């Protein structure tokens, strides 16, 4: 029997965000937006969903006079991401 896939991560954009954040200490919203090609509105909604699930932390501040949002994967987010990847591998083997 195949393992159940985490519905929070089983979204193309949320999975892309988690993939980016799993490989860095933190990333700014603008960087994630550029890497994913998402619109600001859609990315913002998906980041809110990941944050509500406890998978990422979001820090809002300023870089000079410009607003700056920085995202970081949490330990539970990293664990969920690793479990998702391992479960997905079982579908492919």
pLDDT in tens, 41-86: 999 999 999 999 999 999 999 999 999 999 999 999 999 999 999 9
Strands (E), the chain: 27-28, 56-63, 66-73
Q: What is the pLDDT of residue 1?
A: 86
CATH code matching the domain that covers 12-85, chosen among 3.40.50.300, 1.10.1060.10, 3.90.550.10, 1.10.10.10: 1.10.10.10
Structure-block tokens of residue 70: 């920085």
Tell me, rounded to whole angstroms, the distance of Cα 70 from its chain centroid: 12
Cβ count near 93 (within 10 Å): 4
Task: For residue 92, give the 3-state DSSP assignment.
Answer: helix
Tell me how crowded residue 47 is: count the other CB atoms within 10 A of its CB.
Answer: 22
């Amino acid at each position: 029997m195949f393992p159940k896939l985490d519905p929070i991560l089983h979204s193309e954009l949320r999975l892309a965000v988690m993939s980016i954040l799993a490989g860095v200490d933190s990333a700014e919203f603008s960087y994630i937006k550029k890497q994913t090609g998402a619109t600001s509105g859609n990315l913002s909604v998906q980041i809110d969903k990941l944050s509500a699930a406890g998978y990422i932390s979001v820090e809002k501040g300023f870089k000079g006079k410009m607003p700056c949002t920085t995202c970081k994967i949490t330990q539970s987010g990293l664990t969920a991401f690793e479990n998702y990847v391992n479960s997905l591998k079982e579908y492919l083997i």
